[in-house]
Structure 1
């Protein structure tokens, strides 16, 4: 039985390749590389779900990294249950068709309760005292303590936030070797996020990226050597490219000025009340899902979005995730198609309208008009509480005179049992220099699928599924 490892190197595109990627270059020169239009939106959860189900977004239902739950009237981001993803997963299909097939899914999203044989995913513990304890979740459950005993604790603070850096990808790489040594999976799915951090923080082409690219090239090169020495075929894959940006767009502030946003005051700060708002946006990089609790405002919302600098395109939910109805800033064009049970799930999750930014723009979740009234979580790394994605979490507030001292004081208070906020994140969206999410990008910013030998071309995100299946079954 042929064995395969898929190295998902986030942000790896032709635009990144060069003198700082000698190991990756060597691999690509000996094989075949496909570039393809990314999933829409071109974000982690959507892309990975397309790869692992072979279905389009309308079918697997993952319309973003997070969305508004209309029944609960809450925005839910970065949930982890694999049950959220509709459709048959690649490991279930291959288990039916290939006797003895096994799969390891390491740090890919929607990893909890997946039916893969071995899984690891970041998962903090949240005790009743309000604290947060960094940890991982594994299946089988006993693997958690075994792998931590051998590799040490997962360096959680380097996985996201101002300290995001190479140690998290290095630990994940070591975990892939650890699982290989103990279990020899038929298919190993390995997520390496490092490039994502610097490309969003510094921007493509920034001089600071040279060393970051070299670091991930080293990790990838070592994994290629390790797995090929064990006669495991290596596939290099990515999810999207990063575009250089310099224009944050604050849709919720615009909607608030129109009187469509409802704000609830809580202890001197402002909280967005989605359920009571007439219109609001859930921002996810360069795509924003716009929800209309008051459908009578639809035409006016389209007019406002059309006139907003930084908005390039407006799509309807039906166009993207169900019936094909196109709506752009240049006008409205209708086409008719078919929906199914899966696409109705996608339509329920999707915004009524989807705004797509210009190439150099991205959407914030910001809704307050005065920074003094921003919610307490705005200045913290808090990926679940914020009603949208916040790449500003990659930065320490430059206005802080002694950020290290502030962090040390927070850790001391935490150790002593006091509650405290690690409020070190700035509220300056102009700091962000890279973003993604658009599906209409140049070839140099498209994701790649590469193997040492020949493979059938990949023309769309969902085709990755069949290419991986074919690699295992050859």
Structure 2
């Protein structure tokens, strides 16, 4: 039986590959085309199904749920993906790839905190690998997975866990997610080769285990990150035109999607713009087209995003710009969650969660926690100028975009990936 391991090394590009000898050795590399938006959830859904966003329905990392008028990001259930995924047909270990709850993968692990009724949170993972991962490897370094302390610790842990599962269970198909390059490449405008070397060393642990069980290795990346220096407050533009509504309260201003005539769900360099009344669409479009930093405003069908989850309009940023989710006009009115790492409560993606206002403040908040007092880890800055890298639109220079590495002739687009995988699994070597 042919075995295959797919390594998803986020942010790896053809230009950076020379700093990753272990990954480069896995076969021929090819720049390939992602869907738009070129973000994690949409790219992974396209790779797994071979479908465009209009068909699989993953139109971003988050979107408006029209029936409840809630904006929700980073949902994990497999049932959100509309369409077959290729791993359904194989004995699979799915390690930290997205949409990893309610999955058919026989083995796997994914981040999943515990939430108390008092608002407390205990970090943990779901582990159905049968390998007792946290007992053997120690707790998953959640603070290294996202937030100001995000770094190599999480990708290294995932690599060790994947290698362990491969050796003990020997699945036919293994999917491993290594997000390390996503962090500093958003914090800094320059792509430090040292970060590439670090993730290459982590990947080597998985590659070694693959060799031991006779599995081929394919490497993919979801997007390349580009330098940015221009944050766009798209919701602030809509609010100044009196289209976006908020509710003021004891915890700051809260956006009211269901009461708004127009608002945006910001997701890196793309924003879904939801417009309540069709007759307002041309005016909203013209206003946004005149906003500095916005390259174009298009209909969803122009980008194969014409799905009920999408906005009525799609705003695309200039290559050096990105969209903030901020909807308040004065930081004094920002909601309390804005200054915390809170990926599920924020109505848009917030890369400022990779930064910290004060280590001393963080230490004080931890002391409150240890003392059993109520606290909030409000250490995230409200300064979008800190963010120096982003992604989401297609990159003109293919050497700075995503790639695929593998035997034979890897596909030119992510939509061709399922056929490529099934050909490899059907072949003998």
With normalisation by structure 2, the TM-score equals: 0.96
After superposition, residues 348-367 of structure 1 pair within 5 angstroms as 348-367=308-327
> 1:268 deviation in Å?
5.7
Separation in 2, partners of 1:49, 1:22: 28
Match of 1:124 in 2: 113
> 1:269 deviation in Å?
1.4
Match of 2:281 in 1: 298
Match of 2:51 in 1: 55
After superposition, residues 44-443 of structure 1 pair within 5 angstroms as 44-92=40-88, 95=89, 101-139=90-128, 143=130, 146-205=132-191, 209-267=192-250, 269-321=252-304, 347-397=307-357, 400=358, 403=359, 405-443=360-398
CA contact (8 A) 1:289 1:355 kept: yes
Kindly report structure 1 stretches of 4+ aligned residues shifted beyond 3 Å. Answer: none
1:22-65 superposed Cα distances (whole Å, 9 cap, x missing partner): 3334x15xx31121111111000000001111111111100000
Separation in 2, partners of 1:319, 1:22: 39
Match of 1:467 in 2: 420
Match of 1:340 in 2: none
Separation in 2, partners of 1:119, 1:215: 24
> 1:388 deviation in Å?
0.1
| 1:454 counterpart (382, 405, 408) | 408
With normalisation by structure 1, the TM-score equals: 0.87
> 1:440 deviation in Å?
4.3
Question: What secondary structure is seen at the aligned counterpart in 1 of 2:71?
Answer: strand
When the two chains are superposed, the root-mean-square deviation of aligned CA atoms in Å is: 1.5
CA contact (8 A) 1:50 1:465 kept: no
The gaps in structure 1 that reach 5 residues or longer are 96-100, 323-345
> 1:439 deviation in Å?
2.3
Question: What secondary structure is seen at the aligned counterpart in 2 of 1:408?
Answer: helix
Separation in 2, partners of 1:454, 1:347: 34
> 1:221 deviation in Å?
2.7
CA contact (8 A) 2:231 2:323 kept: yes
Separation in 2, partners of 1:138, 1:351: 35
1:215-265 superposed Cα distances (whole Å, 9 cap, x missing partner): 112112332233223321011111110011111001001111111111100
Aligned length: 427
Match of 1:339 in 2: none
Separation in 2, partners of 1:2, 1:153: 33
